[in-house]
C-alpha cells in the first residue's frame, strides 16, 4: 500500500495531536528545500499530511475510508468465477433453463467444511407440506419445471432431514400457484429421484434448499446453483438438478 499520511509523518495511526505536531515540525525542518538535504516534493508531502491529520474532521473521514480499505478481505474472483458451471472443466456444463430449453448440473464434493446454508427472504417463500419453515423462495414457477435428483449417504444431515419430513424420493413436488405451498397438488415443480450410483433414499423429508429462484421471465437464476454447491459441499451429498421449460 502506498504511503499514508501516517507513514509520511512517521507516526502511528493512533497518534495524538501533540505527536502529530511534533513529527511535523521535525520533518518540515528536515525536508525544507533550503536545508542541505531538503526536497521540495518530500516537503510538500509532509505539509499535506499534516494538513489532513491536524484537522479532526478531515482525519476522521480519512481514517474511516482507510479502514474500509484495510478491512477488505482479499478475494480471488477468477477462482470463484471458474467454479461456475460451464466455466470449470470439473463441473459438467449446463444450460440455464428458461427459454433455452433444458440442461443439467452436477456437483461432487465430500468436503463438509464449506457447507453454510443461510436463511433468506425473497418474494415468495416455498413451504413443504405441513411445515411452517420455508424450504426455498420462488418467483413465478409457472413456466419452469425443476427436476431434482439427489444422492446422499444415510449419515448426511440431508438424509436425516428428509426422514423427518414428508417428501419421498420419486415424488413429484408441486406448488400451489396461489399460496406458494409446496406439496402434492398444484403445478409440477420437480421430481425427487434416486440416483443409480448412490444410496436409494427410502426415507422422506425436506430438501433443504437454501433458495430456489425462478424469475418472472422463466429463467432459473444461478442462485440455485450456488445453493446446490453449498449443499453438495456437505458431507455425503451429491445433487443433480435438471431444469427445463414446461409446455
Q: Which is nearer to other proteins, 36 or 57 (CB)?
A: 57
- Of 15-23, 120-128, 155-163, 194-202: span binding other proteins (CB under 8 A): 120-128
Q: Is residue 135 part of the contact set for other proteins (CB under 8 A)? A: no
Count of alpha carbons within 13 angstroms of residue 87, beta-carbon side: 8
Smallest distance, other proteins to C-beta of residue 100, A: 10
Using alpha carbons, select from 247, 246, 243, 240 the residue that is nearest to residue 207.
Answer: 240
How far apart CA 51 and CA 40 sit, in angstroms, is: 16
CB 152 within 8 A of CB 160: no
Smallest distance, other proteins to C-beta of residue 110, A: 23
Smallest distance, other proteins to C-beta of residue 216, A: 6
Q: What is the DSSP string of 34-84?
A: TSTT--HHHHHHHHHHHHHHTSHHHHHHHHHHHHHHHHPPP--HHHHHHTS
Q: Which is nearer to other proteins, 8 or 149 (CB)?
A: 8
Cα–Cα separations (whole angstroms), residue 62 to 49, 67, 69, 74, 180: 11, 8, 11, 21, 49
Smallest distance, other proteins to C-beta of residue 3, A: 7
Q: Is residue 75 part of the contact set for other proteins (CB under 8 A)? A: yes
User: In whole angstroms, how large is the CA radius of gyration of the chain?
Assistant: 29
Q: Is residue 2 part of the contact set for other proteins (CB under 8 A)? A: yes
Give the list of residues 6+ apart from residue 75 with CB closer than 8 angstroms, or none: none
Residues counted in the chain = 247
- Of 15-23, 70-78, 158-166, 170-178: span binding other proteins (CB under 8 A): 70-78
Smallest distance, other proteins to C-beta of residue 101, A: 14
- Of 80-88, 125-133, 196-204, 239-247: span binding other proteins (CB under 8 A): 80-88
Smallest distance, other proteins to C-beta of residue 66, A: 4
- Of 76-84, 128-136, 151-159, 198-206: span binding other proteins (CB under 8 A): 76-84
How far apart CA 125 and CA 225 sit, in angstroms, is: 18
Q: Is residue 68 part of the contact set for other proteins (CB under 8 A)? A: yes
Q: Which residues bind other proteins (CB under 8 A)?
A: 1-5, 52, 61-62, 64-69, 72, 75, 77, 80-81, 84, 118, 120-123, 211, 213, 215-217, 219, 221-223, 226
Amino acid at each position: 500500500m502506498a504511503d499514508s499520511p501516517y507513514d509520511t509523518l512517521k507516526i502511528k495511526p493512533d497518534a495524538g495531536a501533540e505527536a502529530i505536531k511534533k513529527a511535523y515540525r521535525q520533518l518540515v525542518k528536515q525536508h525544507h528545500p533550503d536545508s542541505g538535504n531538503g526536497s521540495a516534493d518530500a516537503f510538500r508531502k509532509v505539509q499535506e499530511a499534516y494538513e489532513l491529520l491536524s484537522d479532526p474532521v478531515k482525519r476522521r473521514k480519512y481514517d474511516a475510508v482507510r479502514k474500509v480499505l484495510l478491512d477488505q478481505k482479499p478475494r480471488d474472483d477468477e477462482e470463484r468465477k471458474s467454479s461456475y458451471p460451464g466455466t470449470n472443466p470439473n463441473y459438467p456444463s449446463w444450460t440455464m433453463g428458461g427459454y433455452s430449453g433444458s440442461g443439467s448440473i452436477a456437483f461432487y464434493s465430500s468436503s463438509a467444511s464449506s457447507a453454510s446454508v443461510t436463511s433468506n427472504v425473497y418474494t415468495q417463500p416455498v413451504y413443504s407440506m405441513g411445515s411452517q419453515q420455508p424450504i426455498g423462495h420462488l418467483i413465478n414457477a409457472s413456466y419452469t419445471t425443476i427436476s431434482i435428483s439427489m444422492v446422499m449417504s444415510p449419515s448426511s444431515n440431508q438424509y436425516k432431514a428428509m426422514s423427518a419430513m414428508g417428501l419421498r424420493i420419486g415424488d413429484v413436488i408441486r406448488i400451489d400457484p396461489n399460496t406458494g405451498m409446496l406439496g402434492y397438488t398444484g403445478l409440477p415443480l420437480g421430481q425427487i429421484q434416486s440416483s443409480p450410483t448412490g444410496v436409494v433414499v427410502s426415507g422422506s423429508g425436506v430438501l433443504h434448499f437454501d433458495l430456489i429462484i425462478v424469475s418472472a421471465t422463466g429463467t432459473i437464476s444461478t442462485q440455485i446453483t450456488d445453493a446446490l454447491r453449498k449443499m453438495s459441499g456437505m458431507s455425503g451429498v451429491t445433487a443433480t438438478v435438471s431444469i427445463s421449460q414446461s409446455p
